[in-house]
Amino acid sequence: MMSAGATAKVKLLFVYKHNSQDPTQKSLINTFPKYFKEFHTFCFKPDERMRFVSENLNISDRFIQTVKKVKPTHVFMWLVYLNPDEIQWCKDQNIFVVAAINGFASFSTGLYKDRDLYIKSLRLLDVFFIPHQPHIARMKFLGINAIEFPFSYDPKIFKPIKLVRSLNIQLTKFFFVGNFGDNSTHSQYRIEMLKEVANSGNLLTISDKKIIHENIRHLPPIPYERVLNLLANLSKFLVCTDYFPNLNEYNDLNQGDVSDYDINDQYAIRPRVYTMMGTGSPVIIERHDQLKRFFGDEKHLIMWSDYNELNDKLAYYDRNETQYRAIANNARKFVQEFHAIDNRIEEIIIPNLIN
């Protein structure tokens, strides 16, 4: 662990909006105090989000009062919740301002509708931590100091449950967490893929919408991470998906993206991959280049490229417990050693805050 002396002079203010379904946000809030003796938080209210259009920029009085009270040396935003006027105000106070993206697309935001305004905000940042390496060059070309910051997980929350594992208790063969209620290409892709999986056995989904299939059971979204960890432990296989289509094809949510959609953006590693790998059950997911940068096929994950391969692998690993247990154990140990939240703080965040 990095010594506390390295961050002794840092007074960190963490700026965010509460999201009960964002495990990385929670783990940062829970872990930062271990590294920063002076750690404070500022949470924007839902009605304070709409401050990101050129004709409606304003500086939050609540935020200003918090800064004056805690006197931070550094502001860390989990998603760019400060508008350019607020970021500039912080820099005028000699505050080091960084941000990290909490979505699955490094170039995307759900706040700004004006691309130029969003780029202006990002250029003002001292550091912009983004989870996907292919987007860094595009950011830097625009004058944004982007640094790769892959997602991570909290091994204190997502981990094997000894009693469940020792008794080999199984609630369902397959388990999936994720929403698909907007009728987008992305949602339809997920639904069809999960139906294909369910043809091989019972599937439990935690989502905003029920899928009609004889082998699929449904529960509404669960904001409690330890419950999700328990359900993952009670499942033989965990299903994840990294597919990410062009959202502008069906709405204008991403019209403020830093750059236009590129086919290379089709797959992006999501936070759920890390959390599920930490539970000790094997994870099934599409094969793609970004995933292969970090993990080995049939070493850490069960990857597939088409439904024929998916069905073949489901059948094979369902029959061969030794092999699928080996993948699950390798994955858990690997993410615990190299992809825990402490790794990201010690290896990426702190060096960029104090150098």
Query: 9 lies in a domain?
Result: yes
Cα–Cα distance, 112 to 307 (Å, whole number): 37
Cα–Cα distance, 281 to 284 (Å, whole number): 10
The count of structural domains within the chain is 2
The per-residue b/e assignment along 138-169, b for 16 or more CB within 10 angstroms, e otherwise, is bbeeeebbbbebbbbbbbebbbbbeebeeeee
**Which of 109, 105, 114, 39 lies closest to 81 in space, CA to CA?**
109
DSSP string, 104-166: S-TT--SS-S-HHHHHHHHHH-SEEEES-GGGHHHHHHTT--EEE----B-TTTS---HHHHH
Contacts of 350 by beta carbon, 8 Å cutoff, 6+ apart: 2, 6, 7, 35
Cα–Cα distance, 242 to 232 (Å, whole number): 18
Query: 293 lies in a domain?
Result: yes
Contact assessment for residue 34 and residue 4, using Cβ atoms and an 8 Å cutoff: no
**Helical H runs in the chain?**
23-35, 61-70, 84-92, 115-124, 136-141, 162-167, 185-198, 225-233, 271-277, 289-294, 307-319, 321-338, 341-344, 350-354
Q: How far is CA 321 from CA 123, 164, 175, 198, in A?
A: 51, 16, 17, 19
For 113, the domain range is: 4-152+340-354
Print pLDDT tens along the chain (355 aa). 555 577 889 999 999 987 777 888 889 999 999 999 999 999 988 777 666 666 667 788 999 999 999 999 999 999 888 989 999 999 999 999 999 986 555 666 667 777 888 889 999 999 999 988 888 888 899 999 999 999 999 999 999 999 999 998 999 999 999 887 667 777 888 999 999 999 999 999 999 999 999 999 999 999 899 999 999 999 999 999 988 766 565 555 555 677 776 777 778 888 899 999 999 999 999 999 999 999 999 999 999 999 999 999 999 999 999 999 999 999 999 999 999 999 999 999 999 998 7
Query: Does 130 share its domain with 68?
Result: yes
Query: 25 lies in a domain?
Result: yes
Structure-block tokens of residue 19: 């999201």
**CB-hemisphere CA count at 13 Å for 85?**
13
Query: 194 lies in a domain?
Result: yes
Query: Does 194 share its domain with 138?
Result: no
Query: Does 54 share its domain with 122?
Result: yes
Query: Does 108 share its domain with 9?
Result: yes
Q: What is the pLDDT of residue 102?
A: 66
Query: Does 346 share its domain with 329?
Result: no
Query: Does 280 share its domain with 194?
Result: yes
Query: Does 184 share its domain with 278?
Result: yes
Contacts of 333 by beta carbon, 8 Å cutoff, 6+ apart: none
Query: 157 lies in a domain?
Result: no
Contacts of 221 by beta carbon, 8 Å cutoff, 6+ apart: 21, 179, 206, 207, 208
Query: Containing H/E element for 100?
Result: strand 96-100
Number of helices (H) and strands (E) in the chain: give both, helices first: 14, 12
CATH, residue 219: 3.40.50.2000
Query: Does 12 share its domain with 137?
Result: yes
